[in-house]
A and B are shown apart, each in its own frame.
Chain A
Amino acid sequence: MEIVKAGSDNVFDMGPLTCCYPMGTWGYRVRGQ
């Protein structure tokens, strides 16, 4: 077994956060990046 990416219970730790996921309609702004 391999952990490719560790997860988090903290919503704002994981990325990316994007408006209107996953449609990305206005999601060009990827928060925190």
Chain B
Amino acid sequence: MGASPIPVFLLLIMIPSRFNIIVEDYPSPGQNLLFNTRTQALIRIDHRFRDCLKALPGSLDGPSDPRLKENLAGLLRNGVVSEGARQEQDKLDDFFRQLKAGSGSFPFEVTVLTTYACNFRCVYCFEESVKRNLSMDERTADASVSWIEGQVEKRGIKRLFVVFYGGEPLLNTRPIYSISRRLRDWTAGRDVDFAFSMITNGSLLSPALVDDLLPLGLDSVRVSVDGDREAHDAHRPFADGRPTFDIVMGNIKAVADRVPVSIVGNFDRESFPLIPPFLDYLEAEGLLKKLKHIDFLPIAPRLGPRANPGAIELNECLSSFGKEGMFDEVLAVKKEIARRGRRALSGLGVNACSLIIEGAGVTIDPLGDIYACNALLGYPEFSVGKVSKEELNGRLGELGGHDAWKKCPADCPYVPMCQGGCRFFSFVENRDFSSLVCKRGYFDRIIPELIKLEYENSRAA
């Protein structure tokens, strides 16, 4: 950080940030990790430094540890100390101003559902109530492209990323071809980067399809696999009940050398033990190190019938994210992946909700209705626009414009990361989009472990 002269009076007012999390006696006894949730700074300090920090504000004689005085400028720059509660609140207010305003440097990500139809019958499908035999026609595909082009031009977007999704998107590939071809050609003449990916159950994935799509801008494929054969087939059968693991894994192996493939899956308490054997299987097949990304997450609740989305289903899954939630399992998955030689993201991050951030990604469904959150797909009352109209319909503010973080307790260190919680979970728990969704009990258990993982990742880098 470097020594820097600090005016004496600042020593009398500097206080530790309210967003510091300290993990004690790590990486070794006598050492501590300090993570600031607003700036994402991570520092390692010994006990004496930690105690002097906690004892701020100091006195005219300065803190008892001269290292603290020498490094105050850097600690201030990294948000570890602030010039007082008022100044720190100003920084937090600025944080949320930035978040809501969005950033032109991020790619504009548009998810396009080619169909609501699906050939699987996954037991936890979050589109259970909305999936049906309804596919995007060419007129809607054309209108979607025109809408996307309009957004790119109006906002001066430099990077466009499309994700084809469903239902099962490969049941209706025609819009994948037509949309990507049009966007590839249109962006080529305009200094706009374009690429696309697909999220698929993998049953219809093939080398021929991948070879067709690579020249149109395909840059990766994500396949949902829930663990080894036993776990996966229990969760994700064909609609007629037949198993799918062998077909899906066969297709992944067939394309893995042609296009980057990610595997993401869902688990519950019962299926979680079958993830390590699946990782062993991937290793034995020579696939584990080839994958672009691999991760597994707990199954979440979903909205109810189309006529009554508030009749939440899979409510029991809410406990996975509570005080007695599945943090041990989430951590174990990361450690199992890392143990096999893959670097896993620690999971520390900042909530970037597309209901809250201006100009964030959207999803276009087969009808041309626009949604700003995939958890709300297919329920027209939660749609925020249509591709036939350039302007959104004004509903986005009702869904994401509540500044839920203003309801957070003043002593919670997780406010910048959590921001008052997920708006979808607000509806799940309270049938409105404005409630505080506090998962502090879950965070208290998992965040220190993620900080340790972040530290270990930095050592391995």
B222 at the binding interface (Cβ < 8 Å): yes
Query: Cβ of A20 and Cβ of B109 under 8 Å apart?
Result: no
Query: Cβ of A20 and Cβ of B422 under 8 Å apart?
Result: yes
With A7-B78, A11-B98, A17-B350 known to touch, is A26 a contact of B374 (CB < 8 Å)? yes
Query: Cβ of B321 and Cβ of A23 under 8 Å apart?
Result: yes
Q: Please, which residue of chain B has its CB at the minimum distance from the CB of A24? A: B297
Query: A5: shortest Cβ distance to chain B, in Å?
Result: 4
Of the listed stretches B34-42, B236-244, B282-290, B392-400, chain A binds: B34-42
Cross-chain contact of B300 among A4, A8, A23, A31 (Cβ < 8 A)? A23
Query: Cβ of A8 and Cβ of B40 under 8 Å apart?
Result: yes
Query: Cβ of A3 and Cβ of B43 under 8 Å apart?
Result: yes
B455 at the binding interface (Cβ < 8 Å): yes
**Complex Cα distance A3/B113, Å?**
44
With A1-B45, A3-B74, A9-B39 known to touch, is A22 a contact of B349 (CB < 8 Å)? yes
With A20-B424, A22-B446, A25-B424 known to touch, is A2 a contact of B44 (CB < 8 Å)? yes
Chain B interface size band reads 35 or more
Contact with B along A3-33 (1 / 0, CB 8 A): 1111111111011111111111111111110
Query: Cβ of A20 and Cβ of B351 under 8 Å apart?
Result: yes
Query: Cβ of A3 and Cβ of B78 under 8 Å apart?
Result: yes
Query: Cβ of A1 and Cβ of B44 under 8 Å apart?
Result: yes
Query: A20: shortest Cβ distance to chain B, in Å?
Result: 5
Query: Cβ of A7 and Cβ of B352 under 8 Å apart?
Result: no
What is the number of contacts between chain A and chain B, taking CB atoms within 8 Å? 133
**Complex Cα distance A11/B40, Å?**
9
Q: Please, which residue of chain B has its CB at the minimum distance from the CB of A11? A: B98
With A16-B345, A19-B353 known to touch, is A4 a contact of B91 (CB < 8 Å)? no
Residues of the A chain whose Cβ atoms lie less than 8 Å from the Cβ of B103: 11-12
Cross-chain contact of A18 among B105, B298, B350, B447 (Cβ < 8 A)? B350
Residues of the B chain whose Cβ atoms lie less than 8 Å from the Cβ of A17: 349-352
Q: From A3, A15, A22, A30, name the one whose CB has the most chain B CB atoms within 10 angstroms.
A: A22
User: Which of B90-121 touch A at CB < 8 Å?
Assistant: 91, 94-95, 98-99, 103, 105-106, 109
With A18-B350, A21-B349, A25-B422 known to touch, is A4 a contact of B455 (CB < 8 Å)? yes
16 A-B contact pairs sorted by A residue (CB < 8 Å)? A1-B44, A1-B45, A1-B46, A5-B40, A6-B41, A7-B36, A7-B79, A9-B91, A20-B353, A22-B349, A23-B422, A25-B424, A28-B222, A29-B361, A31-B109, A32-B106
Report B's interface with A, CB cutoff 8 A: 1, 33, 36, 38-46, 49, 67, 71, 74, 77-80, 91, 94-95, 98-99, 103, 105-106, 109, 163, 222, 262, 264, 293, 295, 297-298, 300, 321, 345, 347-354, 361, 373-375, 417-418, 422, 424-425, 439, 443, 446-447, 450, 454-455, 458
Report A's interface with B, CB cutoff 8 A: 1-12, 14-32
